[in-house]
C-alpha cells in the first residue's frame, strides 16, 4: 500500500466531523495494551537565555508561526506540562493536518490545515478544540502527480501579525491577508498575486516579514521577493539555477533574512535606497556538504532545517554530510571575512543513518537536533516499525562547539519544541515494538542532560502519526500536537 493509499483508507474510516462539532480522534482497543505513562513528573529548571527580539509586525513571540518567532528558535518562554496527572483530549477534522498553528490575541488556535483536497485556515477553540470557522485557501492539483503527503507548495507555512491577521500562501501563487475577527470568523482582506514573477511550475514555500514591515516570499525553485504592503510593489532576485527551497526562513533586527537551499545557506538583505530600494540581494552565501543522496527521512538532498538564529551572532543549520550529518554554526553578521564565517561543524546522530527534516531547537546556547532517518511516510511506521532513534544537543562556545548529550528516543518526524520556562524538550516519539502495535507518545526530555523525564501516550494507530507537523505550547503552557487526523491537547491536571 502506498502512503497516499494509506491516508485514503484512513479518510474512509474517519469520515468528516459534523460542522462545529469537536469529535475526538478515534481510539483503538490496542490503546489498553501499551503503557499510558512512563517516568515521573519533572521539577521545573528554567533555562537561562537571551530573549528573542520581538519583530514588530508579528504577533507575540511563541504565537506567530510554526517556529515560534523571527529567529525560528522553536523555544517558548512559557512553562509547558511537567507530567502531573496529564489530561489528554483530541479532535478530528477529517484527514487534515494543521501543520502550522498560531495563537490569536484571544488565545484561540489559528491553524493552516491541509489534506488530500487542499488547504484552509481554521480558527479552533483552545480548550474544546471545537472548530469556530474555516476559510479554504488552496485546492490541490491532484493531476500534477505530486504526492500530497510530501507536497508543501502553497499551504505549509504562514504567519500571524499583531493585529490578528494571518498571511498564508496559496497554490495560485498568492499571499493572502486574512482577518481573524473577535468572534472567531475569518475574512479575506487583501490578496497579493506574485504570479507575474513566479513562473508556472514553481510554487510559494515560505513567507515572513522583516523589521521594516516588508513581506518576503520564497519559492521552491529559488525566486526570492519582497512586497511593500502599502503600495504592493514587488521586487525579486533569484538563487542559482538548480537550487531548491523546501524549508521556512528566519530574520533578525539587523535586516538579514536567512534561507537555506539544497546547496547553500544565505543571508539576504533588502536594498535601502535608490530605484532598487526593497530589492533582495545576497549579502553572503555559504555552501555546505549536501552529501551524496537524499536520505530516507528528507524531502530533498540537502539541509532539512529552517535556519535557526542564536543570540546576536550565530545562525545554525544541519548539513547532509556522509557518513554523519553535522550541526553547522556560522557567524551571520554582514562583514565577516569568508574564512572566519564558519564557527563549527559538529557530527551528530547515527553513522550512515542520521538526518533531519525539521528545524533545530535553540535553548540558551544549545542546539537540539532529532533523527528522522528512515521515515518515508505513514506506511514506514506501521506494524510496530519506526525510524532510526536519536536526538543530540550541541553547545555553542566562544571557540567552537561541543556535543552536550545524546538521547536514544525515536522521533520519526516531529518538530520538537523547548520550554525555557521549565527546562524540558518535547518530542513526539514512537518506540519500535515487536508486537506490531503503533504507539505514539509526547515525550519530555531534560534540556541539560538529555535524560527522558516522562512519556505520555496519545494513542495507537496511524491516525496519531504527526507526519512532519509541529508540537506547540499555547500562551498558558498547554501543549498541542497536530496529527494526520486532527489535533491533540495535553496539559497538567489539578
Q: Residue 1: is its pLDDT beyond 80? A: no
The CA dihedral of 202, 173, 264, 101, to the nearest 10 degrees, is -130
Mean pLDDT over 384-391 rounds to 98
pLDDT at residue 19, as a whole number: 45
Q: Answer yes or no: is pLDDT of 373 > 70.
A: yes
Q: Residue 275, Cβ neighbours under 10 Å: how many?
A: 6
Domains: count for the chain: 1
pLDDT (0 to 100) of residue 147: 64
Q: Which residue range forms the structural domain that includes residue 324? A: 44-50+60-491
User: For residue 22, what pLDDT band results from cuts at 50, 70 and 90?
Assistant: confident
Q: What are the cell numbers at 288?
A: 555546505
Average pLDDT over residues 241-246: 95
Residue 36 placed within a domain: no
* Cβ neighbour number for residue 97 with a 10 Å cutoff: 24
Of the given ranges (116-120, 203-207, 264-268), which has the lowest mean pLDDT? 116-120
Q: Which of 2-6, 298-302, 464-468 has the lowest mean pLDDT?
A: 2-6
What's the rounded Cα separation, in Å, for the pair 437 and 144?
Answer: 35
CA 380 – CA 162 distance, rounded (Å): 40
pLDDT band at 197 (very low <50, low <70, confident <90, very high): very high
The CATH number linked to 200 is 2.130.10.10
For the cut 80, the answer to whether the pLDDT of residue 227 exceeds it is yes
Give the range among 145-149, 169-173, 265-269, 273-277 with minimum mean pLDDT: 145-149
Higher pLDDT, 27 or 10: 27
pLDDT at 11 over 60: no
Q: Is the pLDDT of residue 134 over 60?
A: yes
Place of cell 483552545: 126
Q: Answer yes or no: is 1 within a domain.
A: no
Pairing mode of beta strands 75-76, 417-419: parallel
Backbone phi, psi, residue 365, to 5°: -105, 20
Q: Are 283 and 334 in contact (CB under 8 A)?
A: yes
* Average pLDDT rounded to a whole number, residues 420-436: 98
Give φ, ψ of 456 to 5 degrees. Answer: -125, 125
Q: Does the pLDDT at position 14 exceed 90?
A: no
Is the CA virtual torsion 342, 77, 185, 66 positive or negative? positive
Round to whole Å and give the CA distance between 197 and 203. Answer: 11
Is pLDDT above 90 for 131?
yes
Instruction: Give tens-digit pLDDT for 443-475.
Output: 999 999 999 999 999 999 999 999 999 999 999
Is 126:103 a contact under the CB 8 Å cutoff?
yes
What is residue 150's predicted lDDT score, i.e. its pLDDT? Answer: 64
The strand pairing partners of 226, in sequence order, are 216, 235
Place of cell 521577493: 225
CB 302 within 8 A of CB 263: yes
Residue 95 has pLDDT above 90, yes or no: no
- Model confidence band, residue 368 (pLDDT cutoffs 50, 70, 90): very high
| Residue 32 maps to a domain | no
Q: Is residue 184 part of a domain?
A: yes
pLDDT of residue 94: 86
Q: Is the pLDDT of residue 80 over 60?
A: yes
CA distance 277 to 190: 23
pLDDT at 396 over 90: yes
Q: Is residue 178 part of a domain?
A: yes
Q: Partners of 268 in the beta sheet?
A: 257, 282
188 domain-assigned: yes
Does some domain include residue 22? Answer: no
Cα angle 171, 257, 342; round to 5? 125
Is it the case that residue 4 has pLDDT exceeding 90?
A: no
**Confidence label for 494 from pLDDT (cuts 50, 70 and 90):** confident
Q: Using one digit for the tens of pLDDT, what is the confidence trace for 246-266? A: 999 999 999 999 999 999 999
Give domain status of residue 391, yes or no: yes
Handedness of CA 113, 118, 120, 125 (dihedral sign): negative
Please give the backbone phi and psi of residue 431, each rounded to the nearest 5 degrees, phi first: -70, 140
pLDDT band at 148 (very low <50, low <70, confident <90, very high): low
In the chain, % of residues over pLDDT 70: 93
How do residues 163-189 score in pLDDT, each as one tens digit?
A: 999 999 999 999 999 999 999 999 999
Rounded percentage of the chain residues whose pLDDT exceeds 90 = 88
In the prediction, which pLDDT does 143 show?
Answer: 62
If you average pLDDT over every residue of the chain, what do you get?
93
Mean pLDDT of 119-134: 96
- Write a three-state SS string for the chain: CCHHHHHHHHHHHHCCCCCCCCECCCCCHHHHHCCCEEECCCCCCCCCCCCCCCCCCECCCCCCCCCCCCCCCCEECCCCCCCCCCEEEEEECCCEEEEEEEECCCCCEEEEEEECCEEEEEEECCCCCCEEEEEEEEECCHHHCCCCCCCCCCCCCEEEECCCEEEEECCCCEEEEEEECCCCCEEEEEEEECCCCCCCCCCEEEEEECCCCCEEEEECCCEEEEECCCCCCEEEEECCCCCCCCCCCEECCCCCEEEECCCEEEEEEECCCCCCCCCEEEEEEEECCCCCCCCECECCCCCCCCCEEECCCEEEEECCCCCCCEEEEEECCCCCCHHHCEEEEEECCCCCCCCCCCCCEEECCEEEEECCCCCCCHHHHCCCCCCCCCEEEEEECCCCEEEEEEECCCCCCCECEEECCCCEEEEEECCCCCCCCCEEEEEEEECCCCCEEEEEEEEECHHHCCCCCEEEECCCCCEEEEECCEEEEEECCC
Tell me the whole-structure pTM to 2 decimals: 0.94
| pLDDT, position 13 | 36
The pLDDT-based confidence of 364 (bands split at 50, 70, 90) is very high
Amino acid at each position: 500500500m502506498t502512503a497516499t493509499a494509506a491516508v485514503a483508507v484512513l479518510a474512509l474510516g474517519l469520515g468528516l466531523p459534523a460542522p462545529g462539532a469537536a469529535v475526538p480522534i478515534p481510539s483503538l482497543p490496542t490503546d489498553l495494551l501499551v503503557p499510558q505513562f512512563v517516568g515521573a513528573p519533572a521539577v521545573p529548571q528554567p533555562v537561562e537565555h537571551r530573549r528573542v527580539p520581538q519583530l514588530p509586525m508579528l504577533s507575540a513571540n511563541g504565537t506567530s508561526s510554526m517556529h515560534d518567532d523571527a529567529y525560528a528558535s522553536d523555544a517558548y518562554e512559557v512553562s509547558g506540562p511537567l507530567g502531573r496527572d496529564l489530561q489528554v483530549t483530541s479532535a478530528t477534522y477529517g484527514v487534515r493536518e494543521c501543520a502550522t498553528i498560531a495563537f490569536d490575541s484571544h488565545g484561540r488556535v489559528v491553524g493552516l490545515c491541509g489534506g488530500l483536497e487542499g488547504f484552509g485556515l481554521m480558527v479552533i477553540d483552545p480548550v474544546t478544540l471545537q472548530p469556530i470557522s474555516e476559510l479554504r485557501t488552496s485546492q490541490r492539483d491532484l493531476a500534477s502527480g505530486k504526492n500530497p503527503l510530501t507536497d508543501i507548495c502553497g499551504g505549509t507555512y504562514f504567519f500571524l501579525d499583531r493585529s490578528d491577521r494571518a498571511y498564508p500562501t496559496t497554490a495560485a501563487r498568492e499571499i493572502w491577508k486574512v482577518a481573524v475577527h473577535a468572534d472567531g470568523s475569518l475574512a479575506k482582506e487583501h490578496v497579493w498575486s506574485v504570479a507575474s514573477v513566479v513562473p508556472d511550475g514553481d510554487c510559494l514555500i515560505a513567507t515572513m516579514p522583516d523589521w521594516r514591515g516588508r513581506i518576503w516570499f520564497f519559492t521552491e525553485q529559488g525566486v526570492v521577493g519582497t512586497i511593500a504592503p502599502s503600495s504592493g510593489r514587488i521586487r525579486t532576485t533569484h538563487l542559482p539555477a538548480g537550487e531548491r527551497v523546501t524549508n521556512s526562513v528566519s530574520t533578525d533586527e539587523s535586516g538579514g533574512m536567512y534561507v537555506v537551499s539544497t546547496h547553500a545557506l544565505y543571508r539576504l538583505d533588502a536594498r535601502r535606497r535608490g530605484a532598487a530600494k526593497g530589492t533582495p540581494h545576497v549579502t553572503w552565501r555559504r555552501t555546505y556538504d549536501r552529501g551524496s543522496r537524499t536520505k530516507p527521512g528528507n524531502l530533498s538532498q540537502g539541509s532539512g532545517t529552517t535556519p535557526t538564529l542564536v543570540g546576536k551572532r550565530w545562525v545554525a543549520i544541519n548539513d547532509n554530510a556522509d557518513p554523519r550529518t553535522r550541526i553547522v554554526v556560522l557567524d551571520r553578521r554582514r562583514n565577516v571575512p569568508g574564512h572566519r564565517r564558519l564557527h563549527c561543524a559538529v557530527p551528530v546522530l547515527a553513522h550512515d543513518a542520521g538526518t533531519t527534516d525539521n528545524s533545530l531547537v535553540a535553548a540558551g546556547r544549545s542546539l537540539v537536533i532529532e533523527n528522522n532517518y528512515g521515515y518515508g511516510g505513514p506506511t514506514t511506521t506501521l506494524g510496530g516499525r519506526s525510524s532510526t532513534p536519536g536526538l543530540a544537543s550541541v553547545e555553542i562556545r566562544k571557540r567552537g562547539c561541543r556535543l552536550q548529550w545524546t538521547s536514544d528516543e525515536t522521533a520519526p518526524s516531529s518538530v520538537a519544541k523547548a520550554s525555557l520556562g521549565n527546562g524540558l524538550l518535547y518530542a513526539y516519539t514512537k518506540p519500535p515494538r515487536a508486537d506490531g502495535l503503533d504507539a505514539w507518545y509526547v515525550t519530555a526530555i531534560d534540556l541539560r542532560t538529555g535524560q527522558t523525564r516522562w512519556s505520555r501516550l496519545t494513542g495507537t494507530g496511524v491516525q496519531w502519526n504527526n507526519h512532519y507537523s509541529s508540537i506547540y505550547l499555547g500562551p498558558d503552557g498547554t501543549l498541542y500536537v497536530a496529527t494526520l487526523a486532527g489535533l491533540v491537547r495535553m496539559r497538567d491536571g489539578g
